[in-house]
Structure 1
């Protein structure tokens, strides 16, 4: 197999350049910025549940032992965990901690959906620009003046651009969309597990939080 025959610089530039330009024009600046941020996030380490739990374990144990009235802020490098535990300590309320966690979760989900939008659009547009490249290559053929080898080369270029469009969609853009979605869903699940552990641990030493929850439920 001659792999060099599968490369055409002009055709690839038409497909990729056209796809990116149309995606930028079809998306807002905010969405593009969030897509770039989401792509950069993929290069950073995942949310580490055991590490996050170990980081606050000592402070949580103190809260469980001493109660909320004498509790101090948890020491953590995670902004969301810090905000949630600070709400718990400031308001002396488990509900405040869970509400803060839920607010961050909704913000992450909204940001993820905005980040995925331009990438989905690019995946939809790349086959279209593959066809644009095909039409461009065919338009360059002069059937009455070229020899057979020139004609076959032109047809090959036309087919390649269609191939480029399909490959970009299904081997680049759609997989990246799924990767961002899976990474976000995994983080959501891990953070939810952390909050459940934290709530259960705090309740063991703070019966008033259980009474508060029963009161809210009307029991």
Structure 2
């Protein structure tokens, strides 16, 4: 589980609930019709703006922010260096024997083992990286559109409520409660946009960026193997793609391995 996401949402909701309880009742802030118009209207408008498949993937990806998604650059580099060492000692065909759960890495190793030229490997893998990045960007854009639409649908619900209230002005006692219910849709829309959708889009964008860095690590590693470069030279190139703390971790593991 991603504790950051869970803690953030729990704390945000807790602050809202506490502020309600200090001055009123939770039941007064629950209205099913308001909830439905915000959620349903947001999805409906997003399906107009994006293909249905993209909207479904966006919803699924939004749920994934509750789960940890760590990119281990150190593990990727170590796996690449191990493969580079095998390829240099036994030849490119040794890469076919290396087992990896990373499909992109498996593709890269296959291209090197098949004897593709470095420039051809770069072209093939760059296209795949671009396609992966494009899919993630489309999902992020869909979530950003939902975050933009949710408050707007909240306002639409408020306007509907106000119209209904104005049609019943003959009953003064109902005006206050009717106004409160009308404003709830605006509250729901603002909460959905600012506590889940917009932050979720930002988290997915960050994940996509880190995944892109990881794919470029694999690309550069494969190019080094195709050129039959020394694993140390490959490592120096790959380190440039890594955050400072990951570089230090890689160096510490390398030193520990030498001492062992």
TM tier, smaller: 0.7 to 0.9
Does 2:46 align with 1:20? no
Return the alpha-carbon distance in structure 2 between the equivalents of residues 97 and 131 of structure 1. 52
Match of 2:175 among 151, 154, 175: 151
Whether contact under 8 Å (1:56, 1:76) holds in the other structure is no
Q: How far is 1:88 from its partner?
A: 1.2
- Give the total of aligned pairs: 203
Is 2:170 the partner of 1:133? no
Report what 2:127 is aligned to: 103
**Match in the other structure for 1:87:** 111
The correspondence for 1:8, drawn from 13, 26, 31, is 31
Aligned to 1:215: none
Q: Which of residues 16, 28, 31 is equivalent to 2:54?
A: 31
1:25-73 C-alpha deviation (Å, 9 max, x unpaired): 33212322442453465446434333334445433211122343x5441
Q: For the residues of structure 1 that align with 2:74 and 2:106, how far apart are their CA atoms?
A: 16
Unaligned runs of 5+ in 2: 1-21, 232-260
Find the counterpart in structure 1 of residue 8 from structure 2.
Answer: none
> 2: CA distance between counterparts of 1:184 and 1:112?
6
Deviates more, 1:177-186 or 1:134-143: 134-143
CA gap 1:41/1:10 in 2 versus in 1, 3 angstroms: closer
Corresponding residue of 1:65: 89
Residue 200 (structure 1) shift: 4.2
SS at match of 2:172: coil
- Equivalent residues of 1:49, 1:191 under 8 A apart: no
Correspondence list, 1:107-118, <5 A: 107-118=131-142
Can you give the 5+ residue segments of structure 1 that lack an aligned partner in the other structure?
206-219
RMSD: 2.6
Cα distance, 1:124 vs. partner? 1.8
TM-superposed CA distance for 1:127, in Å, is 1.4
Query: When the two structures are superposed, what TM-score results if normalisation uses the length of structure 1?
Result: 0.79
> Offset of 1:129 from its aligned partner?
0.9
Structural mapping, 1:153-192, within 5 Å: 153-192=177-216
SS of equivalent residue, structure 1 residue 104: helix
User: Is the CA contact 1:84–1:98 (under 8 Å) kept in the aligned structure 2?
Assistant: no
Distance 2:78 2:141 in 1: 36
